Amino acid sequence: MALVITDETPPAGYERLVHVEDVESGLDAFICIHSTACGPAAGGCRMWNYASLDDARRDVLRLAEGMTCKNAIADLGLGGGKSVIIGNSRTDKSEALFRAFGRAVDSLGGLYYTAEDVGITPDDMAIVASETPYAVGLNSGAHASGDPSPFTAEGVFQCLRVGAEQVFGSADLTGKRVLVQGLGHVGMALAEKLHAAGAVLIVSDLNQNAVKRAQTDLGAEICSPEEVFSQQMDIFAPCALGGILTAETVARLTAKVVCGAANNQLATPDIAGHLRARGISYLPDYVVNGGGIISVAGEIHRRGENYRRERLAGIAERIRRILALSQSSGKTTTEVASDMVADILAQASSRRVLA
């Protein structure tokens, strides 16, 4: 049976939602394009064992919207999109599956660029790229950017230091208790940077091999996922999946700064107000974790290392500006960031109409 690509009716404000199936390879995926106002949509592909089709659909919609915000505020000339593959990334991968996914991406004719996200490696993306030129984050090629995780981790680390400076009066992390939730590629890279900076590490992950490595190599304390919000900490760095900050978890949170790589950390938008009311400085995730897409954007636009370096340095300054505006206006940091994105998208839409 051939690859089946079905256009679904996207929610208001979205441009396209595609369900992709390939029975032979076992591919079951969604590709979502939220906005192309600033340019072709770009966003990683996540492989996750979703409980249902509806769960996968909800996730790709949230993630695609987040990529619009992330790409716009980082001034990358890219719109927002995302894809998710339903499956276990440890047991369900195959060359046929990624080839089928590549053909699905290619069918969109350049409206969407894909790259690595949770559960996907550069080797996987290389297979996707054998079927389409719209797969990036590759290890080889004239403008290859490789795994975006180190860039994401560096951006988060620099923003975390800005947050510490604002709250504690110094960017020096020596002795600060930092809990890193999630030790995937980004979380582990961030933990290594924090350890080198003198922070006291607490880590949590379901992957016991990763936890043991952090304990052995980085001297990290370990807590179970259920104990995360009962820990004493100065800084919380969520680097796993989203939706972990709820009214209940925020009420228990002891950290004074939240800065992590996870997407969609707030379960609902009003949680930003809960954090502010408790005196917790929240650094908006789609600003903080933009390092990975900056790296990928360099590949898409065929630019050199300077392009990545300059834009990566801009992440921390952007967070500094957001924190200052939040303090002076009384708005939450998410409201300030959302206002910035809205202005950027409005200007981009106007230019597109006039063109």
List helix spans (H) across the chain: 53-73, 95-106, 122-129, 149-168, 185-196, 208-218, 247-252, 271-277, 285-288, 291-300, 305-329, 333-354
187 is in an annotated binding site: yes
Taking the C-alpha atoms of residue 138 and residue 127, their distance in angstroms, rounded to an integer, is 10
Quickly tell me which residue has 């949230």 as its tokens: 62
Q: Same domain for 102 and 227? A: no
Q: Same domain for 121 and 153? A: no
CATH number at residue 40: 3.40.50.10860
Q: Same domain for 39 and 113? A: yes
Three-state secondary-structure class, residue 45 = strand
Q: Same domain for 92 and 191? A: no
268: domain range? 149-291+317-341
Does the annotation count 82 as an active-site position? yes
More confident residue, 272 or 146: 272
Residue 10 carries which DSSP code?
P
Instruction: Reply yes or no on whether the pLDDT at 52 is more than 70.
Output: yes
Q: Same domain for 196 and 276? A: yes
How is residue 272 written in tokens? 């930003």
Question: Tell me: the pLDDT tens digits for 92-121?
Answer: 999 999 999 999 999 999 999 999 988 999
CB-CB contact of 235 with 178 (8 Å):
yes
78 is in an annotated binding site: no
Q: Same domain for 170 and 112? A: no
Given the residues 70, 82, 193, 331, the one annotated as active site: 82
Domain count, the chain: 2
- Model's pTM, two decimal places? 0.86
Q: Same domain for 331 and 233? A: yes
Instruction: Reply yes or no on whether the pLDDT at 354 is more than 70.
Output: no
185 is in an annotated binding site: yes
Instruction: Reply yes or no on whether the pLDDT at 306 is more than 90.
Output: no
Taking the C-alpha atoms of residue 57 and residue 34, their distance in angstroms, rounded to an integer, is 13
Task: Quickly state the pLDDT bin for 236 (edges 50, 70, 90).
Answer: very high
Beta bridge partners of 200: 177
How is residue 126 written in tokens? 């290389």
CB-CB contact of 341 with 284 (8 Å):
no
Q: How many residues does the chain have?
A: 355
CB-CB contact of 145 with 299 (8 Å):
yes
For the chain, the maximum distance between any two Cα atoms, rounded to a whole number of angstroms, is: 62
Quick one: which of 113, 68, 110, 112 has its CA closest to 349? 68
Q: Same domain for 153 and 125? A: no
242 is in an annotated binding site: no
* Residue 221 domain flag: yes
Instruction: Reply yes or no on whether the pLDDT at 350 is more than 80.
Output: no
Q: What's the pLDDT score for residue 182?
A: 97
